Structure 1
Amino acid sequence: MELVRELRRSPELLANLTRREVKGKYKRTALGQLWSLANPIAAMLIYSAVFGIILQVPVPEGDPSGLHSFPVFLLCGLLPWSFFIGVVNGGMGALVGNENLIKKVWFPRSVLIVATTLSTMFTWSIEMLVLAVVLVVLGAQVWVYLPLVVLVMALLALFATGVAMVFAIANVYFRDVTHLSSILFQAWFYLTPVLYPVSIVAEQSDRIGPLPGGITVLDVYRLNPMERFMEVFRNLLYDNRLPDLGSVLYCVGWTAVALVVGAWVFQRHQGKLAELL
């Protein structure tokens, strides 16, 4: 792919842009990178109070880990989701935010998107490490599965990068995309089992019965690629077992589609970015 060749020709530029993103995100703050933990912890406390205590959303027991904690169950889904949104939102604004640089000199524009992904992955790795420590303290055998967690992290990063490339180009043509995407991602968030287990959807699907064509509500719900990523992460982190091969292949398939489509859209339009911006 041309995208891969461009990145291989610009390793130093990619490293410098990634370093700039990491340092600039928390520049002139007292706590620095520790702020990366503030949002997930605050979200965990709020969602745990509302969904875990007030609404009393049922929490499945980790199989075979035996874990039974709504905050931990929540974090195992919330951190992958926050990473996905962080990459897409960062990538979506990368071209517009570097307008002056793009107009002054030629370089592979894809480097801006990938640098955002890498910088977001750096901060997310800190969050995931803290979660891993918490899981070990609670008695989970998560260390055995950490190599697989890293691989799934890389897979999710590639998927998010492909989506970010499409949104980045769309945002150059139509600045309304930034506002529309916030509505889209809010709906996507609640249609993904971050705050609740899939078993709730399965129960409602059984109650409603089959739809025309013999499909069910659960079948439609599980078309969401982020639902499968949630399942894989929770299998490894919360359940401490290998995920279903079908779900892993589903994630791989969606990642391939997102990358191919994202790279095609980006390559087709990046030559006109200086004029459009």
Structure 2
Amino acid sequence: MQEFPISIKSIASSFIANRNLIITSIKREIVGRYKGSLLGILWSFVNPIFMLLVYTFVFSVVFKAKWGDGGGESKAEFALILFCGLIVFNIFSEAISKAPTSILINPNYVKKVVYPLEALAWVNTGSSLFHGIVSFLVWMLAYIALYGIPSATILLVPIVILPLLLMVQGLTWFLSAIGTYIRDVNQLVSILITTMLFMSPIFYPISALPEIYQKILYLNPLTIIIEQVRAVAFYGEFPNYKLVIGYTFCSSIVCYVGYFCFQKSRKGFSDVL
């Protein structure tokens, strides 16, 4: 039976060797998502604009929520702070939610077509990153319209997001592998994603919680990234490099473990499809 490479080097080698296929698949995934609609890919811009308006209305008008202790921020500030966190969450949730079924919905790639199955995870991550970039462009346009040119620290957003992408990539590999054998994983992931939406500092600041719960919230892998993206994009602060470096190290481990599990288990995919 064929043995698949599991070294760290093979991760980069696979991506480089299949980069054209991955890019083409990402484009097909994005275009296919809006195929047949009147606006087409413009929906990728309309969706975040609509959600920004909806969350602004619901939380700052209906619930009259305030972000800081002083409560002095405007509705626009609240919306931009909230949407920063939501962008990070959506990058995570979009890729993770599709991961458990990524092999199941592509049986031909396993049985009939010679296809680098590990590339499917790159496609999931790339597609979610595309929509995250579009949402962030909408966020930037809103910021510029309201406050002018943002701080130069906004250029550090890619550095802050990179460790999140490593973690998402590893989890996507792991979940796509285990989801092929255990179909209940898809349902479990849906529950966990909903839980993480409300257990992340998206709709509220960490400071709003008692200190003991603040420590628990930092166990959420999205918390650090959400806080750091807000720092560099909205508040014009430099990221906490120690946290970012530590997160990158942990995410790299998650990425490799996910890849290892995927490569070790892919030999049996054809038997369960």
- Which TM-score band applies after superposition, normalised by the shorter structure? 0.7 to 0.9
1:166 partner SS: helix
Cα distance in 1 between the residues matched to 2:38 and 2:163: 33
Q: Is 1:226 the counterpart of 2:222 in the alignment? A: yes
- The alignment status of 1:83 with 2:91, answered yes or no, reads yes
> How many residues are paired up?
262
The C-alpha deviation readout for 1:79-121, integer Å capped at 9, x for no partner, is 1111111111233332112112221123321111101211222
**Between the two proteins, what is the percent identity of the paired residues?**
26
Moved over 4 A (4+): 65-68
Residue of structure 1 in register with 2:44 after alignment:
36
Which deviates more, 111-120 or 241-250?
Answer: 241-250
Deviations 1:253-272 (A, max 9, x none): 33113202211111111222
User: After superposition, where does 1:112-191 map in structure 2 within 5 Å?
Assistant: 112-139=120-147, 141-142=149-150, 144-191=152-199
1:29 aligned counterpart, secondary structure: coil
Task: Using the TM superposition, give the Cα deviation of residue 148 of structure 1 relative to its aligned residue in structure 2, in angstroms.
Answer: 1.1
Tell me the CA shift for residue 145 of structure 1.
2.5
Asked if the contact 2:207–2:214 (Cα under 8 Å) also holds between the matched residues in 1, the reply is: no
For residues 184-199 of structure 1, what are the structure 2 equivalents within 5 Å? 184-199=192-207
- The yes-or-no answer on 1:3 pairing with 2:11 is yes
| Contact 1:236–1:243, Cα closer than 8 Å, also in 2 | yes
Q: CA deviation at 1:49?
A: 3.2
Paired residue type of 1:138: L
Q: Which residue of 19, 32, 57 corresponds with 2:27?
A: 19
SS in 2 for 1:96: coil
Amino acid corresponding to residue 117 of structure 2 in structure 1: R
8 Å CA contact retained: 1:67, 1:238: no
> In the alignment, what sits opposite 2:270?
274
- 1:256 paired to 2:241: no
Report if aligned partners of 1:87, 1:120 keep a CA contact under 8 Å in 2.
yes
Unpaired segments ≥5 residues, structure 1: 206-215
What per-residue deviation string (whole Å, max 9, x for no partner) do you get for residues 229-253 of structure 1?
Answer: 1101100111111122233124213
* C-alpha deviation, 1:46, in angstroms: 3.6
- Aligned with residue 103 of structure 1, among 95, 106, 111: 111
Contact 2:157 2:232 in 1 (8 A): yes
Unaligned runs of 5+ in 2: 1-7
Matches within 5 A, 1:234-245: 234-245=230-241
Secondary structure of the residue aligned to 1:105 is coil
Q: Deviations over 1:210-236 (max 9, x none)?
A: xxxxxx332222122200011011001
8 Å contact 1:40–1:78 — kept in the other structure?
A: no
CA–CA separation in structure 1 for the residues paired with 2:81 and 2:242? 22
**Cα deviation per residue 1:165-212 (whole Å; 9 max; x = unaligned)?**
1111121111111111111111111110011111111xx23xxxxxxx
Q: 1:219 to 1:123 in 2, by over 3 A?
A: closer
CA spacing shift, 1:68–1:129, aligned 2, 3 Å? closer
CA distance in 1, matches of 2:51, 2:15: 35
Q: 2:58 aligns with which of 23, 33, 50?
A: 50
The partner residue of 2:80 within 72, 76, 86 is 72
Q: Give the structure-1-normalised TM-score.
A: 0.86
Mapped partners of 2:243, 2:148: distance in 1 = 22
Alpha-carbon contact 2:202-2:226 (below 8 Å) kept: yes
Letter of the 2:87 partner, please give it.
Answer: L
